[in-house]
Structure 1
């Protein structure tokens, strides 16, 4: 915990009273809070448990009362078999995607090919022609959500007004496994022999382990050898250890539907652009978006930007998260939401179930 009091100042319903990095954070009701969202629990401790299996175990043992994470079919069955546990599964505002590192001297970096940007782009496109999006969806997501579909936009959330308009133009809906096409791209780039590419994702994440294995098997058919470099510190590694991976597999979480939300992911030097992506035309489109107030023009600018992003072969979306939140029946008022902060958004409604019933 910081020793300086100003670092834990809060005018909200809770203040931070204890913190241990990568383990837990404790929130205590703020006696100075005068708003209308007064909490019913004096203290809430949020534990950081990366392993979904361990989350379910902690819930079953009564160590935690609410758990939320990335389910598999097996985990869902386990939750359904727990007594005294309620749950809700629904799509969340997070989408799975794959990003490629282009400034680390690896297989997707022009520097690997003497600065030839077109060769590097061909190699990136070849990799994406091996990405088994449909297989991932069918085997890992549809058992949890039968009507799940591929996500085909990075900048528009499925179900929002402009999503379909972007999908029709941006090129992602046409991305499918094409091993012969991948081999042809590599041949055109003059690449021979096996390409090694390292994939980073969160350690202990069962679903991503399964995704990686499907990706590995498909990529191998085109002569691309995917190497598992999962990490417990993957989030920090994305920016601090760019030389340790070539492919990143994780989810971007939507906190709003604002048109400017995605810019920092793709602009040169953007705070979420860990990969060295840079394109003056894309930068200009996002710059125009910053001051554009006409909603139709905002849509068109984003679609143009996304189309160029797809053509660069930087990133590809896979699926919208099927979320699972489970909670003890000793707690009432838990209502998971689509956008971040998902399950935490209505903390003021949470109450001991017995007290709520009185």
Structure 2
């Protein structure tokens, strides 16, 4: 519905426990982790560059509130790689007794297994920069001696009524709920219009505005549907790429698309050729995964409307053709009745220089 591709791999932590135990053992052997009463901790001060992602200074960290009750840590900054089993919790056997892996080690191990020790891009919310991503870097680079990830891309939080959405507090709206109210492509456009690093406010007004913008793109597609195969305008595509290459500035790239749409419409209004702009817009929209083709109306039952109007047709196309005939015969009452009847079925007819076109609202 949203046009998203499924991930190639969707790993589960429970399917990679053996690899986690092996990595924890490796960290112990290298002297950067230690066992304590069935728990295993990473020694933060053994990793000299700890804090390089979040720009935290170890000596400035407030650590007292992170000491776990009963934990036998060498340092309050140290974090758990393995936790001894507790009643009612899932547990696996390990060299340090029955227990479960810590949260941070799960991500490091699965990233290394499926992406390699040194991969290109690591993503996540801004709320994960510290301590989670900082801990991932420390344990991964201590284990492999290699850089963990080349680029870090942290997205801003999605807010509802000015507050971060949170499942734990019940302050959230699900994606399926939003798709029941708005066109899936409008929801996609809503997310694309704000730079990924910035917080995003989820609101009815913002989604309605995205749906209106989507409508302008679809109207443009209907107006220019016969211009496929043209060479795209180089200037438009260069401007589009420049924004995409600038920290994935999709919002800026969208502004290039809408400016090209305005320029193309102005040319068409003046009777000029705009095929190069149309081709550029289509190519850019494809990059962003924005499918702006109108939904088909094959499932619309027009039999009652046709019978009411005394027409022997069974499709929207048939009714539109009948309207064209009525207009040619100057039977404007019938032509208007067809238009109004289709409008009641959420079908809009647009009269263009190339003939009547229809689309589903």
Structure 1-normalised TM-score? 0.20
More strand by share: 1
Structure 2-normalised TM-score? 0.20
The structure that has the greater radius of gyration is 2
More helix by share: 2
Point out which structure has higher relative CO (alpha carbons under 8 A, 6+ apart): 1
